[in-house]
Amino acid sequence: MAEHFITRFEHAEPTLRLPDLHQALYDADTLFLPKTVVCLHGQEHMKKKRIFAGVFNRPFFRHYQNHVFPVALKESMDPVRENGGGDMAQFAYRVLVNLVADSAGIDRAHNEADTDRLFALIGKLGHAPTMGQLTDPSDRDKLMVELKEALEAFEKEFFEPSLARRRALVDKFNAGEIEKSDLPRDAITAQLQHSPTDDDLPYDERVKDAAFFILAGAFTTANVLMNVVNEVLDWLEDHPEDRLNLINDPVLMQKFIWEGVRLHPASPITKRRALCPVHLPDGHDAETDEFVTVDLTRANRNPDLFGEDAESFNPHRALADNLPLHGVSFGGGAHVCLGKLLAVGVKITEDNKDAEETEFGTIAMVLRALLQEGIARDPARPVEIDESTTRRHFRTLPFVFDPALAQQG
C-alpha cells in the first residue's frame, strides 16, 4: 500500500485539515484507543471532542495553573528537594500524571505511592500509541496482554471509585441539592453531564476515555519536559547567565520551551488513511486506503523557514511573523491538541507577561522551580535514551540540585 510523506511545514496543517483523511497512527492497537477521541472521525469525533473542549477553556486552564498545579508541583518537588536531586525520567511523569489525573477526574490519595501506581498503569497503556512505531514488531503480542491487564487494574483501582463519586454529585446537582460550582471541573464529570447513562456512553468507553486523557496529557508533556531540561542543561554550560534570566523572564522561558517542542515534538509523526481519492496540498494524490504520514519533526526543521541551523537548539532564532516557534508539534485540523494551553501556555509578550490571568503552561512552571533549586547534571550518572521506538524517550536523565546554583530570581 502506497504511503505519502508530508515533510514541508506549509503542507502539514492543510493536510491535517482534509476531512477525508482518517486517523491511522494508532491502527496497531485494537484494544484501548479505537473509541477514544483521537481515533474517532467525523460527527462521532466532533461530538466527543466538543464535550472535552467545553471543559478545557481558558478559565479552566487558569484555575489549574493557579490552584491545582502548585499543589501537584509541591507534592512532586518535596521528595527530590529532600534527596538533593533525582531522575527526570521519574520526576517528569510523577508531576504530570498527578496534574493531568486531576483534569481527567481521577481521585487519588495524594501520596507518592498512589501516584506511582497510577504512573505504572498509565506507563503500560503508554505503549499503545507507540505500538505502530516499534522497531521490533514481535513485541506486539506481549504488549497487548500488558495493555489488557493495565486497563482492568486502572478501572478497578482508580476509575470506578472516581466515577461513583462524580455520579453521586451530578445526581445531587440534578436534584437541585448542590450548585454547579460544587461540581468538579474535569473530563469524567463533563461526560456524565452530557451522557448520563451507559446507553448514552458505554461504561467501557468511559474507562478508556479517562485513561487516554491522562496518557495524552501527561506522557506527551513529560516527554517534552525531559527534552527541554536536557537542552537547557546543555545551553547553561555555555550561557550560565541565562539561569537567572530564565527564572525572571517568562518571554525568554517560553522561547526555550517552544524551541524544545519544535525540535522534539512528543509524537514525531502523525498518520492518516484516505477514505476516498484525495488531492493532497503537496500536489500528490492519495488513492482510497493509502496512508498519508505527516512528519512533524521534519516539517519543524525546514531550513528555509526555521534557518540553516534548524537542526540545533537555538531559542533566539528569528522567524517570519506568523510562524510559531513550536512549529506544528500540536498537530492541526480536527485532531489538533486539546491541551496545548495547559502544556505550553498562550504566546507570552511584554504586554501580558506580568498579568495574573496569563497562562504560562505547566512546563514553564516546573522548569522554573527546578532552576530555582539549582538543577544541574549528575556527574556520576549519564543520560540514557530509549531507542526502541522512533519517539525519543529518556530511560534516565539524572539530576542534582546544586546549592551554589540555587536562586529565587
Interface ranges with ligand HEM (CB under 6 A)? 23, 25, 37-38, 49, 100, 103, 216-217, 220-221, 224, 261, 265-267, 270, 329-331, 335, 337-339, 342-344
Residue 152: what residue type? E
Q: What are the φ/ψ torsions at residue 317 (nearest 5 degrees)?
A: -60, 140
Tell me whether residue 86 or residue 361 sits nearer to ligand HEM (CB atom).
Answer: 361
Q: What are the grid coordinates assigned to 180, written together?
A: 454547579
Answer for the pair 279, 12: CB distance below 8 angstroms, yes or no. Answer: no
Q: How far is the CB of 376 from ligand HEM (least distance, A)?
A: 24
Q: How far is the CB of 273 from ligand HEM (least distance, A)?
A: 12
Tell me whether residue 105 or residue 374 sits nearer to ligand HEM (CB atom).
Answer: 105
Residue of minimal Cβ distance to ligand HEM: 339
- 305 vs 9, 308, 327, 330, CA distance in Å? 8, 9, 10, 18
Question: Distance between CA 109 and CA 238 in Å, rounded?
Answer: 43
Q: How far is the CB of 268 from ligand HEM (least distance, A)?
A: 10
Question: Distance between CA 278 and CA 276 in Å, rounded?
Answer: 6
Q: How far is the CB of 380 from ligand HEM (least distance, A)?
A: 30
Tell me whether residue 96 or residue 150 sits nearer to ligand HEM (CB atom).
Answer: 96
DSSP code per residue over 307-357: -TTTTS--TT----TT--TTTTTT--GGG--S-HHHHH-SPP-TTTTT-TT
Q: What are the grid coordinates assigned to 183, written together?
A: 461540581
Q: How far is the CB of 19 from ligand HEM (least distance, A)?
A: 14
Question: Distance between CA 87 and CA 91 in Å, rounded?
Answer: 6
Comparing CA positions, the residue from 106, 116, 184, 96 lying closest to residue 365 is 96
Q: How far is the CB of 138 from ligand HEM (least distance, A)?
A: 25
Q: What are the grid coordinates assigned to 251, written together?
A: 518571554
Q: How far is the CB of 97 from ligand HEM (least distance, A)?
A: 11
The helix-helix angle for 362-373 and 250-263 (nearest 10°) equals 110
Tell me whether residue 229 or residue 338 sits nearer to ligand HEM (CB atom).
Answer: 338
